[in-house]
Structure 1
């Protein structure tokens, strides 16, 4: 019996057809394998049947993909519980990812200081290739981060304060290419989705070196960010905070802006001299 990943070639399939079919099937298998890993991660563990139902894959195919991941230490099989959970190799990958993103200790300390001083979740975001990525977060139970804004978050730059800062710091053609690729979907009723309006807004962000968004990303939340400059003077990152929108009156906004500018200046100085 053949499953949906089996490569077949009838008498009419020539030499050129077989390698192409094999390549296409190989890509599909990789996509399915990664999808299995994501389901197990998102659910905090899952049985083969659960994975099969979520991905709508035949159960034999699901078992085969799960066993491949177990064999490579990306998953572990808890036989007594008939479940699969994340394996130990993923921790090494996570450590390596944090090392590659490479937020210096002095910058992490400054983000934590900002969090404590303004009583709000604080973030450091950077460019990573063509992405705008959250590289570090400091928060607490009293002042939690926005969901899903954790390390590695790289979506919705048009609707986040740090995303606006980094978009405004890009050359115009790079920002246009980013927005072409990612779009400007409406996340809330106040998200700026019109490209012309967003362009005008980013020009103002660039002029001020500071960005606000109020309920554009998450209803009821407000975020602010200030640009961080590297040794050459170009924008290389952003420090940001998030808080409850209803708590941001004019006085609170002025306090947050002042703290963000001071924090960004300290990080910029460290990047120039550290």
Structure 2
């Protein structure tokens, strides 16, 4: 493990996988993710081993070995975290974001405050762009912040999964008896950061091209054919408003991805090879 301290005093922990001289990519996880999550580790290792990339796999604030800003939840702060990480790890990097991490990666690229971003890969950002599927309540953060402040972690997990992610209650209830429940509770307080990233873009309204027009770096949006309509619709919607983007949907992929399927388009796009190069 390595770490940096940002100008705001946040400690960001990360692992560095050095594969070769093909460039650097930072993995940006989504809700309930952390850098030692097995699929994040697998993807980091495969991108380094198979595509000669240097991969930075970090804990976003409030997860794993990174510190937090309790009660302060603002996407601008996480953009600052990414800027500090890019600068500290070489000054230039692509971003790979998964779920809400994809939303964060796109917002960082749109901000103009992270000049070292070279490319963006957005894997299933959970934008909600119509009312045909689940639409979270706009004031969801009120209850979420209250539960977090009271350290009611199990209730945070259940609330965020059902009210922000739209997962069926029986499915979430069963998860309490799985080995993953402990990790879900450990990362539960950080869901307030995920909502800060995504909340404004999950209200059932179309994405506005003006909000994303400053993302001029090459961007690849990936979705899975086994994922729900909401996520596949979101992938098409964000691709349509980005100035320099393409979309690929992988038939056998889901939101809980098979890394062996997700890595090839990611690695090929980042290294400028095959059909995924822009």
TM-score normalised to structure 2 length: 0.26
Higher fraction of helix: 1
Larger radius of gyration: 1
